Structure 1
Amino acid sequence: MTISEARLTPVKAPGRRRVSKAFWLLRQSPLTLTGGAIMLLMLLLMLFSPWLTPFDPNAVDLSARLQPPSAAHWFGTDEVGRDLFSRVLIGSQQSIVAGLAVVVVSGGIGSLLGCFSGVLGGWADALIMRVMDIMLSIPSLVLTMALAAALGPSLFNAMLAIAIVRIPFYVRLARGQTLVVRQFAYVQAARTFGASRWHLIGWHVLRNTLPPLVVQASLDIGTAILMAATLGFIGLGAQQPTAEWGAMVANGRNYVLDQWWYCTFPGLAIMLTAVGFNLFGDGLRDLLDPKTGGRH
């Protein structure tokens, strides 16, 4: 190749090369692609569910109560004749939004708190971490149920309780990454030249701790959906007539022997969504982990 030809050869920008490599690595993992496809499908159903439901999800029709799956009612009907297919679709808005909101709140608060703890050090770091250790010493589900019961049964309170319980996981992860990043030469140089703590956290620490936090958040969405469904199942989450998957399974358990479809389809929706997010999060972890090099 001559010098003139080399000059005319297009060179990919570093950002485009990274994106191309990421897509190539994703194609090497069938499980990650499967999880991403499931996740994308559930998100699309969540967004377009108001236009996809064939019936009003809260419309009562006692003449059609507890009908099995048919051409008219694909998932059957419940004890008051409501179409379960429509309720499962609309329920995706409650369950998936709950999982996303929990991750945004707990991840945002926990990441900032962990970065501050690592940057500040001293008594502030010790105080924050001892509080986190106390919260982690209590089983997550027990603490979540206690907080949800204290706040009162509703989907918003259930989301708030789950978010509070998940904060320590992000605090510990962000603090551990911060302790590593603050030892880098350019961070030490920034502190030497008088950079404020806000500048260190926003410009240096958070940017370097973001990949593991993103992986943790992607894995936590499935966990948050399962915990929200659990609280709905025991009556501490969404209340009637709200269509929420966990509450629907709880209502269907009384009919599980004869009307199997009542709790089967909401349960499958919970399982499929959690598996999709977990598979994608697991693949994302391998992709962003330099030790694995993106290989499964």
Structure 2
Amino acid sequence: MKPPYGIVLLTILICLSGLWQPFDPDAIDVFHKFTPSNSEHLLGTDHLGRDLFSRIMVGGWRTGIVLLCVALVGFINGSLLGSLAAILGGWAEEAILRATQIFITIPTLIIALSAAAVFGLSPVTGGLALGLAAIGQQTLMAHGLTKRVLAQPFITAAYSLGISPIAILFRHVLPNTFPTLFTYLGNQMGSAAVAYASLAFIGLGADPSKPDWGGMLFEYRMFIFDHPSLMIWPGVALSLVVLTLHNTFDPE
């Protein structure tokens, strides 16, 4: 796997975006609406005179919270459940796989839509919903990889030495399956970023005034011909995040 320079840089930028913005992203100044890019407003202002760069920074922070929740819920739980199922075998393996397959049969957006309808869409609720939706696929991936590792001679030797299944899981299985699981995680997180933007675009935000990238695309759609940069920049930001996640976790 390539050194995670991209994800480190992305994490730094997201954290910086949450801590500081050059302007209040919600400050309205109608006398300076549609200001073009300049030294003060790097990306210009929108139809209400709000600084576009500041709003994109906040949208990046909110998207980062979603990605963190997906990683914590989907990746950690799915990896442990799939690996544990393969090691335990028998009825326990069957029960774990059948339970996690529930998350596969229900489309990701349906789970997210249901959570948004009940709790309202926020980065945390959206991230938790998308993370739950990711558990099923992550479990099956981890299960298949673990089965392959368990067939190796060094695992047989570990069992013959009396090492417990849990110790084998953390000492031998996970270190050998994590590189591939991380690659799959990059694809899941990229899909989660797009899914969250899609939910915000269709207006499921608890507070539509919050500058989510999807919400900005929806709000600025009416200016696509007169001021296309208002839609271009949030789309570019989302695309760069997805590409960074894919390229960083790409094992090649």
Return the alpha-carbon distance in structure 1 between the equivalents of residues 67 and 194 of structure 2: 8
Q: Structure 1 181/38 Cα, relative in aligned 2: closer, same or farther at 3 Å? A: closer
Task: Give me the identity figure in percent.
Answer: 33
Q: Which amino acid aligns with 1:87?
A: R
Q: Structure 1 140/186 Cα, relative in aligned 2: closer, same or farther at 3 Å? A: same
**1:187 is matched with which residue?**
155
Instruction: Decide which structure has the larger Cα Rg and report it.
Output: 1
SS at match of 2:207: coil
Q: Structure 1 201/77 Cα, relative in aligned 2: closer, same or farther at 3 Å? A: same
Q: TM-score scaled to structure 1, two decimals?
A: 0.75
**2:236 is matched with which residue?**
268
Contact 1:238 1:244 in 2 (8 A): no
Please point out which of 15, 18, 22 is paired with 1:47: 15
Q: How far apart are 1:84 and its partner, in Å?
A: 0.5
**1:221 is matched with which residue?**
189
Contact 2:65 2:123 in 1 (8 A): no
Contact 1:76 1:85 in 2 (8 A): yes
> Is residue 128 of structure 2 the alignment partner of residue 160 of structure 1?
yes
> Is residue 222 of structure 2 the alignment partner of residue 246 of structure 1?
no
Contact 1:155 1:237 in 2 (8 A): no
Contact 2:103 2:135 in 1 (8 A): no
More moved, 259-268 vs 180-189: 180-189
Q: How far apart are 1:235 and its partner, in Å?
A: 2.5
Contact 1:155 1:239 in 2 (8 A): no
Q: Structure 1 258/272 Cα, relative in aligned 2: closer, same or farther at 3 Å? A: same
SS at match of 1:236: coil
Q: How far apart are 1:265 and its partner, in Å?
A: 1.0
Contact 1:256 1:263 in 2 (8 A): yes
Q: How far apart are 1:183 and its partner, in Å?
A: 2.5
Q: How far apart are 1:120 and its partner, in Å?
A: 1.3
Please point out which of 125, 143, 147 is paired with 2:111: 143
Q: How far apart are 1:219 and its partner, in Å?
A: 2.8
- Structure 1 unaligned segments of length 5 or more: list them: 1-21, 27-32, 287-296
- Structure 2 unaligned segments of length 5 or more: list them: none
More moved, 184-193 vs 271-280: 184-193
Q: Which amino acid aligns with 2:225?
A: L
Q: Which amino acid aligns with 1:117?
A: A
Q: How many residues align?
A: 252
Q: Superposition pairs for residues 47-126 of structure 1, below 5 Å?
A: 47-49=15-17, 53-126=21-94
Q: How far apart are 1:163 and its partner, in Å?
A: 0.3
Return the alpha-carbon distance in structure 1 between the equivalents of residues 115 and 125 of structure 2: 8
Return the alpha-carbon distance in structure 1 between the equivalents of residues 10 and 162 of structure 2: 48
Return the alpha-carbon distance in structure 2 between the equivalents of residues 105 and 121 of structure 1: 23
> Is residue 138 of structure 2 the alignment partner of residue 205 of structure 1?
no
**1:280 is matched with which residue?**
248
Please point out which of 219, 230, 235 is paired with 2:198: 230
After superposition, the C-alpha distances for 1:192-228 in whole angstroms (9 at most, x for unaligned) are 4443232121112212211111211233232221122
Q: How far apart are 1:270 and its partner, in Å?
A: 0.6
Contact 1:68 1:261 in 2 (8 A): no
Please point out which of 75, 82, 98 is paired with 1:130: 98
Q: Structure 1 183/42 Cα, relative in aligned 2: closer, same or farther at 3 Å? A: closer
Q: Which amino acid aligns with 1:178?
A: T
SS at match of 2:101: helix
Q: How far apart are 1:237 and its partner, in Å?
A: 4.3
Cα RMSD for the two superposed structures: 2.6
Return the alpha-carbon distance in structure 1 between the equivalents of residues 145 and 205 of structure 2: 34
More moved, 220-229 vs 41-50: 41-50
After superposition, the C-alpha distances for 1:211-263 in whole angstroms (9 at most, x for unaligned) are 11121123323222112211221223463443321221122123323332222
